[in-house]
Amino acid sequence: MDRIGIIDLGSNSVRLVIIDVKDNGAHHQIENLKESIRLRSGTDAEGFLTEEGINSACEMLSLFVRFCRARDVKKIIAVATAAVRRAPNRATLINRVAELTGVTIQVLSSEEEAYLGYIGLVNSVTEPSGLMADLGGGALKLVGFQDRLNKNTTTLDFGSVSLMEKYGLQDRPAPDNLHALEAFLAETFSRINWLPNFPKLIGVGGSFRSLARVYRHHVQYVPDVTHGITIPIDAVKDIYTMLSRMDLNERRQVPGLAPDRADLSVTGFGIIYHLLKATGGQELMVSASSLRDGIFYKHTYPRDPILFNVLTHHINNLIDYHNLDEDHLRRVSNLAVILFDQLAPLHKLGSHERRLLLIAGLLHELGAVISVENMEKHTLYAVLNSPLRGITQRERVSAAFLGASNDGLVDTNLQHYLTNGPITEEDIASIKKLAPLLQIAHSLDRSRTGVVTNLQATLTPEACEIKVFGTQKRELEIRDARRRAEMFKNTYGVELRIVQG
């Protein structure tokens, strides 16, 4: 077991994540800490870090390093971004931190910072093409990517803290100041002629996550998950307009908006809205990935840090880290897909639903990491809330309810995800059609010994007969699968017969 600590000293805050890496390469984040230090504000008119700013940063970094050592972290990677990068006296901070902690801070160039953010993003999202916007306190990094390859990169020399201070937007914005900010943003983004080539905007950073939390509270969105949420441009505009009319105390009361980010919110959300307008896109996607993810993948896979298949990696990672019965999960998933293919004339579903069944088959026992007692509700919770990447929120919700239905249909609060979440009536119908197939597949590996090697389904107007093939005795599996006959008939209107092949 290895344990890595990554410290990110930004313009607005300092963050620490600690990640466990098992001998098989599976990884899991066990700590995620953040403290606001506003290092960008701790600079003088010439950009020098003030003594107060240096002391504040040193104090917090020393605390984080001591915490890492208390948690038996084997390797600490510390980086600094825009505020330190621009400071002429950055060596004073770096040397003092090294003396106090023994840890050397690597000051990232703007290109390195954008690249690491890009790695973290493409290793976490479903979209093969888009525009990554990583908004920090002192810089905005933009990366246009196509087929997961970096095509255009630029770093703008402003962020939510620097523009907040420049235009005096901490409290209720004066109309002239707000108009000046908006004119500056519109003019700046218009000069980047490649922005309209990437209308799919994907946001990274604290301002984007804050916007997502405010939006979720505003519309009572479920699931309560930031990663992968999409926000219509009209909603972004409405939230920005609403907050720009409030004073600081009023913004601190807004549900979902952390009080320590209330002063930044108008500036941050204004940057996001005007960037979205400049791309011509109609919605924003928010990612929970970060520079720290990019650092982790670059450290772990130095030759090629970009994952070949995002979803496969993260599903395998969950299985391997939690020591789930991988052979059983893959057998169930494969048997379910065999049934899906052979029963296509009956269910009339397509490739999207086939992929969903495959995912649910692999994750249908994820709840075992909590308890095998009432595992279905634990699986529902675990799939909805696990660090699962490369999947849309619509797919996550559908896979969670389907995976939890491996022994009986689970639809508690499912309708809520229709009215206040990402799924559709068609998704609910698909879950109900797919659940019997997953249940049969689960039964056919009931002993977890792989005695069932193949299936052959034959359809008639009155019945579905499934022949079960294998090289060993499989009466237990067949008997258990026959328990699914009632639900199968209720779903498809035909008798289910399961026989030895």
Instruction: Give the tokens for residue 236.
Output: 């972004």
Q: Would you identify the CATH topology of the domain 111-292?
A: Nucleotidyltransferase; domain 5 (3.30.420)
Distance in angstroms (rounded) separating the CA atoms of residues 376 and 381: 9
Instruction: Give the tokens for residue 461.
Output: 């107007």
pLDDT at 491: 97
pLDDT at 47: 81
Q: Determine how β-strand 454-459 pairs with β-strand 140-146.
A: unpaired
Question: Is-cis flag, bond preceding 173, omega within 30?
Answer: no
Tell me the sheet residues that pair with 133.
142, 203
Distance in angstroms (rounded) separating the CA atoms of residues 367 and 380: 7
Please give the single-letter amino acid code of residue 72: D
Over pLDDT 90: what percentage of the chain?
95
Q: Where are the domains of the chain?
A: 2-108, 111-292, 310-500
Place of tokens 């789930």: 324
pLDDT at 471: 86
51-104 per-position pLDDT tens digit: 988 999 999 999 999 999 999 999 999 999 998 999 999 999 999 999 999 999
- What would the 3-class secondary structure string for 58-86 be? HHHHHHHHHHHHHCCCCEEEEEECHHHHH
Task: Check whether 43 has a pLDDT greater than 80.
Answer: no
Write down the CATH number for the domain with range 2-108.
3.30.420.40
Domains 2-108 and 111-292 share a fold: yes
pLDDT at 324: 97
pLDDT at 12: 85
Average pLDDT over residues 8-29: 95
Task: Check whether 40 has a pLDDT greater than 80.
Answer: no
Task: Specify the long-range contacts of residues 25-34, CB closer than 8 Å, at least 24 apart.
Answer: 25/300, 25/320, 26/316, 26/317, 26/320, 26/321, 27/296, 27/300, 27/317, 27/321, 28/317, 28/321, 28/387, 29/387, 30/71, 31/67, 31/71, 33/64, 33/67
Average pLDDT over residues 470-498: 96
Neighbour tally for 58: CB within 10 Å: 17
Class of domain 310-500: mainly alpha
Distance in angstroms (rounded) separating the CA atoms of residues 420 and 243: 23
Instruction: Give the tokens for residue 154.
Output: 């630029």
367-420 per-position pLDDT tens digit: 999 999 999 999 999 999 999 999 999 999 999 999 999 999 999 999 999 999
Task: Check whether 364 has a pLDDT greater than 80.
Answer: yes
Average pLDDT over residues 232-237: 98
